[in-house]
Amino acid sequence: MICVTQLATIIETLNANEDVCFCKVEIFSSRYISVYEGTIGSKWVIKIAFPPYFPVQLPDIYVNSAPVGTLHIGSDGKLCLFNKSSILLDTANPVGIVSECISTALDILSLCPGTQEYLSELKKEFSAYWDNNCKICIYCSLEMDEIEFAEIPILKVSNVLYVISHSIIESKRLLHDVLRISNTDADAEGKALVVRLRDDADLLSPFKKLSWQAFTNYLKRNVTKSASKKLSAYICRQHKNQNKRREIIVAIFPNGDNALIFGFATDFQLLSKPMISIPNASYQAAIKRIDYDYMTKRSGAESRLQNKHVLLLGCGSVGGFIANNLCQLGITKLDLVDDDILLLDNVHRHFLGADAARSKGSRNKADLLGNTLSNKYIHVEIDTLSYVDRDVASIFFSSNRWNNYDLIISALGEPTINLEINRRLRDAESNTPFITCFNEPYGIGGHVIALNLSHSQDSCLQCLYTLGDDDGMGFRGSFVESGQSFEMSLSGCAGTFVPYSSLDSQQTALHVARTAIKVLMGQISYNCLISWKGDATTLVDLGFRTSNRFQTLESDVTVVDNLKNENCYVCSPKRHGDQNDI
């Protein structure tokens, strides 16, 4: 790192190179080891504050007496110069780093209000500027793209905290389940007006304190004609209302995929002569979005997934990670089935940890997983089907339950049940897609099989299984030779398991999640086998043998989209004959 004496030399070089004059001044914060002050652009007085690990860390730039409306500046005068998470510093050129910071600061300070460049930068930081002056916070869960002008029920938690959604019941659920606020006094507080501005609307200045009249006049100038009439009627109604109250307006400023949402609240008081209500005090309100579209956008989720209903069979090592991945990617309706309980010796390869295994309530894997995911994600609706026998066979085979779902995923690792599900879907001519998956032993790989897709009615899961000479049914895509047993036990029959790690389960779960999303989005329409290939060192060292398929595959991930087998007794008229390996 650079010492204080070296910093003085850097500043001397900077002054000479840039024709500026920075002088050392008093350090104003313990975060810095040295501070210099000077003028740039003939009028801007700035401070360069050096952190102890410069040039690995950027210096901070502070502006003295910046006028109202200066962008990218905090309340302490500190300029926001770069996105530090994505910048690569040339630490061998410390003078150049300081020079670049000064140049960027000058570019920011030179932004002129009213220009297109200023407006573009203002939009990026508008919410932060607006929220800085807010005394009221409103949590909002609305489908913003569908609203032009609407009066929405509002739940009052306190004088400074509100929740808005399409119903008071939903707002109370969000208050309790999402915000974790148990306020029995929270109740309906009339309705808030939510109004969308025109696409060519002027952007309101977030730096000026506004009155009720100024804010409503701004809205009148910037809403559509149809909304303008409704807005005028709304405003007139507020003045005639003879109740002392607070009115709240939420404005939506179109901005591509990142609409700017800001709120405004006004307290009204009643005059006796004449008997009208007049605005008293007004406040800016910060809007904290917790709606589905906003919350899932950063995860790359598609809004079309919101109403997709998925059934997951098996909540074990692979199934737990699948369920979590699906929720993160935007699936909101998920049914979980598993009749097993979570034991402490499971936790190192399961999504759930020891805290879940020690739960005082139900220790059923589906219940524990459902509770965990409901706590982690806001908009998920998880049903663990606890009102019926949790046995997969009794749930799935006793009715046409599969017709309730957009996708069925089996992480059971039980080929017999998976093959029976496959047969029943075929016999019922069901259009519900079916994905099954499993890990191979000792980290050698895993498989995901997408089935019952629209363009592949000539193949099915049974096509991938064949009658062996000695070993009964076998998987044609296997990475290990048939006739080997991989089950282990550390505690008798009740503790038997196939050896693979949590990383293997996560790898398979990732492939399942990606495949599931593509199926639900209609991006995969052919039955296919996706196999990921791992390391066979441990398996071979233990004396086991890999299959010809494993040995000949060159890619880490292989997709086979021709699963048809003429000898399949489920989807082919032909009932016998030899089958070829994949």
Q: Is the pLDDT of residue 219 over 50?
A: yes
Q: Is the pLDDT of residue 16 over 90?
A: yes
Q: What pLDDT sits at residue 36?
A: 97
From 257, 290, 323, the end of a domain falls on 290
Q: Is the pLDDT of residue 104 over 60?
A: yes
Give the model confidence (pLDDT) of 567-579 as tens digits.
888 887 654 444 4
Residue range of the domain that includes 386:
301-560
Clarify whether residues 138 and 90 are in a common domain: no
Domain assignment present for residue 527? The answer is yes
Clarify whether residues 85 and 190 are in a common domain: no
Q: Highest mean pLDDT range out of 174-178, 345-349, 413-417, 468-472?
A: 413-417
CA gap 391, 364 in Å, rounded: 12
Domain assignment present for residue 120? The answer is no
Q: What pLDDT sits at residue 148?
A: 93
Q: Which of 563, 537, 330, 574 is nearest to 455 (CA)?
A: 563
Domain assignment present for residue 116? The answer is no
Clarify whether residues 310 and 411 are in a common domain: yes
Cβ burial of 87 (10 Å; 0-12, 13-18, 19+) is exposed
Q: 158 near 193, Cβ under 8 Å? A: no
Say whether 311 sits in a helix, a strand or coil: strand
The position carrying tokens 């306190």 is 158
Q: Is the pLDDT of residue 289 over 90?
A: yes
Report the pLDDT averaged over residues 545-553: 94
Q: How many CB atoms lie within 10 A of CB 167?
A: 12
Q: What is the CATH number of the domain that holds 49?
A: 3.10.110.10
The position carrying tokens 């190179």 is 17
Q: Is the pLDDT of residue 470 over 60?
A: no
Q: 47 near 36, Cβ under 8 Å? A: yes
More confident residue, 119 or 185: 119
Report the pLDDT averaged over residues 305-310: 93
Clarify whether residues 342 and 209 are in a common domain: no
Clarify whether residues 306 and 398 are in a common domain: yes
Q: What pLDDT sits at residue 72?
A: 92
Clarify whether residues 87 and 135 are in a common domain: no
CA–chain centroid gap for 392, Å, is: 30
Q: 432 near 408, Cβ under 8 Å? A: yes
Clarify whether residues 441 and 383 are in a common domain: yes
Report the pLDDT averaged over residues 222-250: 85
Q: What pLDDT sits at residue 490?
A: 46
Q: What pLDDT sits at residue 343?
A: 86
Report the pLDDT averaged over residues 527-555: 94
Q: Highest mean pLDDT range out of 186-190, 369-373, 494-498?
A: 369-373
User: ∠ at Cα 423 (432, 401), nearest 5°?
Assistant: 45
Q: What pLDDT sits at residue 493?
A: 46
Q: What pLDDT sits at residue 99?
A: 95
Q: 382 near 336, Cβ under 8 Å? A: yes
Give the model confidence (pLDDT) of 33-86 as tens digits.
999 999 998 889 999 999 999 999 999 999 998 888 899 998 899 999 887 767
**What is the three-state SS of 240-272?**
HCCCCEEEEEEEEECECECCEEEEEEEEEEEEC
Q: What pLDDT sits at residue 293?
A: 87
- Which of these ranges, 290-304, 331-345, 526-540, 551-565, has the smallest mean pLDDT? 290-304
Q: What percent of the chain has pLDDT over 70?
A: 93
Clarify whether residues 371 and 442 are in a common domain: yes
Q: Highest mean pLDDT range out of 288-302, 313-327, 465-479?
A: 313-327
Q: Is the pLDDT of residue 286 over 80?
A: yes
Clarify whether residues 139 and 244 are in a common domain: yes
Q: Exposure string (b/e) for 522-556, b if CB count within 10 Å is 16 or more?
A: eebeebbbbbbbbebeebeeeebebbebbeeeeee
Q: Is the pLDDT of residue 492 over 60?
A: no
Q: Which of 551, 428, 529 is nearest to 480 (CA)?
A: 551
Assigned token pair, 155: 């739940």
Say whether 275 sits in a helix, a strand or coil: coil
Domain assignment present for residue 571? The answer is no
Clarify whether residues 245 and 331 are in a common domain: no
From 290, 317, 348, the end of a domain falls on 290
Q: What is the DSSP string of 10-39?
A: HHHHHHHHHT---EEE----TT-SEEEEEE
Clarify whether residues 282 and 310 are in a common domain: no
Q: What pLDDT sits at residue 466?
A: 63
Domain assignment present for residue 369? The answer is yes
Clarify whether residues 54 and 144 are in a common domain: no
Q: 216 near 266, Cβ under 8 Å? A: no
Number of structural domains the chain divides into: 3
DSSP annotation of 174: I
Q: What pLDDT sits at residue 500?
A: 82
Domain assignment present for residue 577? The answer is no
Q: Is the pLDDT of residue 494 over 60?
A: no
Give the model confidence (pLDDT) of 155-173 as tens digits.
999 999 999 999 999 999 8
Domain assignment present for residue 380? The answer is yes
Domain assignment present for residue 36? The answer is yes
Q: 208 near 122, Cβ under 8 Å? A: no
Q: Can you give the length of the chain in residues?
A: 582
From 229, 255, 290, the end of a domain falls on 290
